[in-house]
Amino acid sequence: MDRGARSRMIIFGLEGTAWNLSAALVDESGAIYEKSATYTPARGGIHPREASQHHAEHMRAVVGDVLAQARQRGLKLEGVAFSQGPGLGPCLRTVATAARALSLRFDIPLVGVNHCVAHIEVGKWQSGARDPAVIYVSGANSQVLALRQGRYRIFGETLDISVGNAIDKFARSVGLAHPGGPKVEELARKAKNYIPLPYTVKGMDLSFSGLSTAATEAAGKHDLEDVCYSLQETAFAMLVEVTERAMAHAEKREAMLVGGVGANARLGEMMRIMCHERGAEFFLPPRSFMGDNGSMIAYTGLLMLKSGISTPLDQSHVRPGYRTDEVPVSWA
Ligand code: AMP
Ligand code: MG
């Protein structure tokens, strides 16, 4: 048996809101083990029903592998956390069904976790940020948030599609496979010119749809490298502007970048420069905790269980439109 296993609170977490089915074990001292199965669409973007079929097909192997690890290490599970939303309905239902079954099988509490809150909590845990303004940018979400009066309040967000979706859509339109984010970043490194593209910040909110379309149109007339670079520069400058204003409003001395698009080195660099210029500290969690992962759900479940929150079966329905600011953050 692992040393100290009796006094450790071990939580099993299950993520599967979109492209990544991922199960993990964590305790307070760290992420113990994680196993994932990634859905990659044969063509086009993520198809909700195909993604949920992928998750259903891989559920037994992914969950079984993590449970086998727990057994081998002599770890006793004390809770099952699952991503309750936001996300794609069919994917959420597949994940919730598996989580309910595990909770019943082991007779341990079930905890429904807000996926966006989990990105933030795992980011703080892994980067050491204490009270940051958060820029959360992923395939489905683009939000700027900060903890105020017990909730992660949304200071600004996209009014249409997320920045990740905008880049992925553009990438597909020029023949790059999904997900396009990393490929666009690679091409942008070789750029020589900046091409002006629509910069749309409305108050504290953002719009990326027109930018994505304009980049697609520009790709017919300019070098692809230059368009990739200009798309990134424009989109990221918009995000950094709103984050800086949120920091000023909420009087935060820290900023933290989370979500899959946070893996982009240029976005990290722009955030670092902005923070440096205003004498604030910038926090970036390790890459493995940036995109969707099971550890972030397990860790947030652990925080919730420790503060006395669990989810009865009859309240474990999926919540595709679950908003970040609906969650009372009683553990912070
Ligand atoms: P998530 O939904 O948080 O798992 O993040 C997935 C999104 O992150 C997709 O839109 C990817 O294209 C995007 N992404 C991943 N790596 C990068 C990168 N290096 N640069 C820009 N976007 C990225
Ligand atoms: Mg995500």
Residues forming beta bridges with residue 256, ordered by sequence position: 134, 283
At residue 24, the 3 state secondary structure works out as strand
Q: How many angstroms is it from 168 CA to the middle of ligand 2?
A: 15
Contact predicate 324/145, CB 8 Å: yes
Helix/strand number for the chain, H first, E second: 9, 12
Q: How many angstroms is it from 122 CA to the middle of ligand 2?
A: 12
Give the nearest ligand 1 atom to 265 CA.
19
Contact predicate 115/15, CB 8 Å: yes
Residue 262 CB–ligand 1 contact under 6 Å: no
- To test the pocket of ligand 1, the residue of 261, 271, 289 to mutate (highest count of ligand atoms within 8 Å of its CB) is 261
Contact predicate 201/242, CB 8 Å: yes
116: closest CA among 219, 217, 18?
18
What's the pLDDT score for residue 321? 97
Residue 285 CB–ligand 1 contact under 6 Å: no
Helix, strand, coil percentages (3-state) for the chain, rounded to 5, are 45, 20, 35
Residue 291 CB–ligand 1 contact under 6 Å: yes
pLDDT (tens digit per residue) in 151-163: 999 999 999 999 9
What's the pLDDT score for residue 7? 61
Q: What is the 3-state secondary structure (H, E, C) of 93-152?
A: HHHHHHHHHHHHHHCCCEEEEEHHHHHHHHHHHHHCCCCCEEEEECCCCEEEEEEECCEE
pLDDT (tens digit per residue) in 42-64: 888 899 999 999 999 999 999 99
Q: Which residues of the chain have pLDDT under 50?
A: 1, 3-6
Q: How many angstroms is it from 177 CA to the middle of ligand 1?
A: 13
Note the pTM of the prediction, 2 decimals. 0.95
Residue 168 CB–ligand 1 contact under 6 Å: yes
